[in-house]
Structures are given as structure tokens and as C-alpha cells.
Structure 1
């Protein structure tokens, strides 16, 4: 079993309130979950209206599937015009890793 996680550090364009932030982040999280069958959630910068951290996690039987899912999710987020991808943090673990 392999597990992978990816955290996106995002700068949100043209957002001036936490309510506007939610209107950008919620659809992004929902699309990640729907398109890539991953767990996804807003994971940081909760009190800042122009920054967001979104994390995803995936579990699969082989490493290639985990890498493919994380790569596809990263490409999708990087291509969104309403967010600027500042950085990503990726972690992939085999089942026997501690």
C-alpha cells in the first residue's frame, strides 16, 4: 500500500474577504475530490483572506498511481486562473515506512 499527500500554498487573486475566499476555495476542494478521487480539505491560512493552504491525500496499491494522481492534481491547481500556486509540499510513503 502506498499513500501520498500534497499541500498547495495558494495566493488568491481578487479576494477581499473571507467570504470571497470560501467562494474560491470550496469549489477547488470539491473539484479535486471529484476529479481525482482524493481526500481534500483547506488545511491552513484559515484567517487570511488572500492566502490558502489546501491539502490532498491518496491511497493506492502501487506507487505509480499515487504519483499520477498527485501530478494531475498539481497540474489542475496550477492551471486555475483565480489562484497562484506559490509552492507545493509532497510526501509519498510505502506501507512499511514509519
Structure 2
């Protein structure tokens, strides 16, 4: 079994409140979850208005498949006009490593 994760560090555009931040982040998280059938959540910078860290994880029996899915998620996140992608951190773990 292969477990792969991404952490997106995003800078948000014209956001001046946590409510405004939620209006940008919630649709982004929902679209990633719906389109790619992966686990996704805001994992850090929850109290900062213009910044967020979004974690995405996928599990598969095939390393190539999980890599392909998260490559597509990364392209999707990088192409979003309402956020600026600052960095992406990738991790891959096999159950043999645990």
C-alpha cells in the first residue's frame, strides 16, 4: 500500500477576514475532494486571514497511480486564480516503511 500526501502553502488574494478566507477555501477544498476523490483539509494557518496550508492525501496499491492522482491535484491547485501557490511539499510512504 502506498500513501502519498501534498501540503499546499497558499497566499490568498483580497481577503480581510476569516469569513472571507472561508469563502475562498471551502469551495477549493470541496472541488479537490469531489474531482479527485482524495482526503483534503486545511491543516495550518487557520487563524491567519491571507494564508492557508491545505493537506491532501491519497492511498493506493499502486505507487504510479497515487503519484498520477496527486500530480493532477497539484496542477489544479497551481492553476487557481483566487490563490497564489507559495510552495508544495510532497511525501510518499509505503506500508513497508511503517
Give the Å deviation of 1:35.
0.6
TM-score under structure 1 normalisation? Answer: 0.98
Give the Å deviation of 1:14.
0.8
* Distance in structure 1 (CA, Å) of the matches to 2:19 and 2:27: 13
How many pairs are equivalent?
98
Structure 2, unaligned stretches of length 5 or more?
none
Q: Match for residue 8 of structure 1?
A: 8
Alpha-carbon displacement from aligned partner over 1:53-95 (angstroms, at most 9, x marks no partner): 1001100010011111111001001000000000011101112
| 3-state secondary structure, aligned to 1:16 | coil
- The Cα RMSD (Å) is 0.6
Alpha-carbon displacement from aligned partner over 1:4-39 (angstroms, at most 9, x marks no partner): 010000000111110000000001111111111100
How do 1:58-73 residues align onto structure 2 when only pairs under 5 Å count?
A: 58-73=58-73
Q: Match for residue 26 of structure 2?
A: 26
TM-score under structure 2 normalisation? Answer: 0.98
* Distance in structure 2 (CA, Å) of the matches to 1:69 and 1:16: 33
* Distance in structure 2 (CA, Å) of the matches to 1:80 and 1:42: 16
